[in-house]
Amino acid sequence: MFDLSKNHFELFGLPVSFIVDGAALGERYRDLQRLVHPDRHASGTGQEQRLSLQQTTRINEAYETLKNPVTRAQYLLSLHGIDMQAEKETTRDIAFLTEQLQLREELEQARHAGDTEAVLDDLMNRISTMIKKLVAQMAMQFEDPIPTNLAAAREAVRKMQFLNKLLSEAESLEAELEDMH
């Protein structure tokens, strides 16, 4: 039954795990949408339309959450009873923070570098590698969800938020440059 109390994973008939089969998730998302989307109920009764809107909204939310590793990790943590204060939490790992400062400086300097594109490319590659590493770590931590592992995953989420933000800033700089020529 379509039960609004089901968790996001159960909604798509997927095991509760950090490792998600993206293709299966997409396929089930589309299958559910084919059934419940408001366009499928445009000639139904008002109540049917409301129900359809409500369920589609829920499915979209679940899909969005599971698609992205950061929101997926946060959601998994919440299923384990850990509610993160989203972006208000920050890491206290000094080495990591120092590295962030350096990366940020590099990004600033890239703007004025002669070969901005190459510098930016290299920077973005390094950030992406760091993100991938964290994702791989989280996958292992969630496989064995003992408290220390969950705490480590929480810390990884905090770091991911830093890295994602930096990456998107690098991307906007790249976009700015592309628009100029």
Contact set with another protein (CB under 8 A) = 1-2, 13-15, 24, 26, 28, 30-40, 42-48, 51-53, 55-57, 60-61, 63-64, 171, 175, 178-179
The kind and range of the H/E element at 166 are: helix 147-180
Nearer to another protein, 46 or 81 (CB): 46
Nearer to another protein, 47 or 146 (CB): 47
CB-side exposure of 145: number of CA atoms within 13 Å? 13
Q: What is the Cα 180 distance to its own chain's centre? A: 30
Nearer to another protein, 56 or 141 (CB): 56
Shortest Å, Cβ 95 to another protein: 30
Closest among 98, 88, 81 to 158, alpha carbons compared: 88
Shortest Å, Cβ 63 to another protein: 8
Report how far residue 20's alpha carbon sits from residue 91's, in angstroms, rounded to the nearest whole number. Answer: 26
